[in-house]
Amino acid sequence: MQLIKAIFIGLILIGLSVLAVFFIWLAPVGAAYSAKIMCSAIFVNGLTSTRARDVDILADNNPLLSLITTNVDLRNQTVSAHAFGFRKRFAVYRPNLGCTLADDADHIAQLRNATPVMKPVAAKPLLTTPPPANVDRRALNNILFDVMDEPGLHPERRTRAVVILHEGKVVAERYAEGITAETPLPGWSMTKSVFNVILGRMRFEGMISHLQDPVLINEWQAEPNDPRATINYDDLLRMRSGLEFDESYANPLSDVVQMLFIEPAAAGYAVSMPLENTPGSNFAYNSGASNILSAAIRNLSGSRTTYLSRPTELLFRPLGMSSAVIETDPEGYFIASSFMHASARDWAKIGQLFLQDGVWDGERLLPEGWVGYSTSPAAEDPYGLYGAHWWLDLPGSRNEDGTPRDDITQLPEDAFFSLGHDGQSMTVIPSRDLVVVRFGVTRNRSAFDLRKFIADLTAVFPDKADLPQPDAENPEGGEDAATEVNDG
């Protein structure tokens, strides 16, 4: 009897411990994630409330999120979420800034009062043209049919948009039901590559002198002999800051999850991390580095209004990216690691800008050599996969010594990538004059093979080196000349 009683008491204590862990640590994460993602899906991406919850939140049956109750206020453009009435979190939509987490009604009012007024960006549509004559259109259509297959053979694929640019023009695009060429879509970590471009614009405009200069972080410089004060822009762009950071999305208590969904200041949380290694000595991919760059941009910008206008004035307006929005944390810092939304066509413009070596509409926007710098491997990366906030190959493609694996299909050597959570991707292949963007909600990685998709496309778009070259008597190349690139 005593043994049974002890077991019973033990089970009760275990149950109470589980409940305590849920309500103290897990429920706030689940509520914040649900409120934020649903708010963005509804008010930024334009999805229905049902689709936002059933797909963007509950796809693949996350047991924690299934316990969270959400409420959508369409009139006030807010979403609230809670676990059994406890740990309630809010997210509020604001024009030009998307959705931001908030604690209560007073906090929502404060955020709305701090919303800047911005001049709208005039759209510059990309031109559309049929695929070139040397492309097998039937093969191309089969590739696009396969990637959009839903809900047939691949019910967990959930591709939402694919856009293919060739020589700067849209030659193919496909969209899921309810998604259009104007629908803003989340890029998640593709946002990191955008902040590479913003920093490149600031470098071009003389706002940053050298990438080896220490980043301007007040907390580090205020403390005498703080070793973090030596971290420079190059260290952060190449993910070798040396700061401690746990990038595990599967762990609700990891640094990246706490930074994005619990902490009031994502940048402040990342800045507070202690050193784990000497700056510049070790490669470690982490989202905190991108948000430290966001804080540095804020400190360099002088005023809050100037800071919030940086992406629009430096990048979105010159490229005519009228759909683009970068969301902020509750303290007003752009979440540079994760939260930009734009139409698939507008995302593709970022890739096209890089394909054209930082020149747009005949005007140089990025420093000469910036694209080369961004797409060169970080010396500290043992696999040679990462450059400066751009991927140089897909994860898992190299051996431990950094050499390409023999057992997988290799992509063109000059290809580089911007990659994001849930299967978001942008692929740039200069030798094919290709930019390919793909968006979806693909949490099961086996449901979509990006490597195969890109390999299939490169098989139907020939290498420029294999095409007839213009001769001295016919410099334009006659009928075989490539179409002139139109920058939008």
pLDDT digits (tens, 9 = 90+) for 217-265: 999 998 889 999 999 999 999 999 999 999 998 888 999 999 999 999 9
CA separation for the pair 354, 433 (Å, rounded): 11
Tokens 């979440």 correspond to what residue? 335
Say what the pLDDT of residue 223 is: 84
- Distances in whole angstroms, Cα of residue 174 to Cα of each of 178, 211, 295, 420, 425: 12, 39, 37, 19, 15
Residues 6+ apart with CB under 8 A from 167: 433, 482, 483, 484, 485
Residues 6+ apart with CB under 8 A from 445: 423
Say what the pLDDT of residue 480 is: 37
Tokens 């676990």 correspond to what residue? 83
Structural domains of the chain, with CATH: 2-113 (no CATH), 159-466 (3.40.710.10)
Cα-to-chain-centroid distance, residue 425: 8
**108-122 residue pLDDT tens:** 999 999 999 999 999
CA separation for the pair 333, 265 (Å, rounded): 7
Q: Hey, what are 10's tokens?
A: 């033990």
> 438 - beta bridge partners?
162, 425
CA separation for the pair 481, 262 (Å, rounded): 55
Residue spans of the chain under pLDDT 70:
1-25, 150-153, 470-488
E strands, 343-452, are 359-360, 363-364, 416-420, 424-429, 434-440
Q: Which of 208, 207, 220, 327 is CA-nearest to residue 268?
A: 220
| Greatest Cα pair distance in the chain | 102
Neighbours of 182 (CB within 10 A): 13
CA separation for the pair 128, 132 (Å, rounded): 12
Say what the pLDDT of residue 237 is: 98
Say what the pLDDT of residue 16 is: 38
- Verdict on whether the full-model pTM lies above 0.75: yes
CA separation for the pair 279, 241 (Å, rounded): 5
Neighbours of 99 (CB within 10 A): 28
CA separation for the pair 245, 270 (Å, rounded): 8
Say what the pLDDT of residue 9 is: 52
Please give the order of strands across the beta sheet that includes 98-102. Answer: 69-73, 78-83, 86-94, 98-102
Cα-to-chain-centroid distance, residue 289: 14
CA angle 48, 53, 58 (to 5 degrees): 145
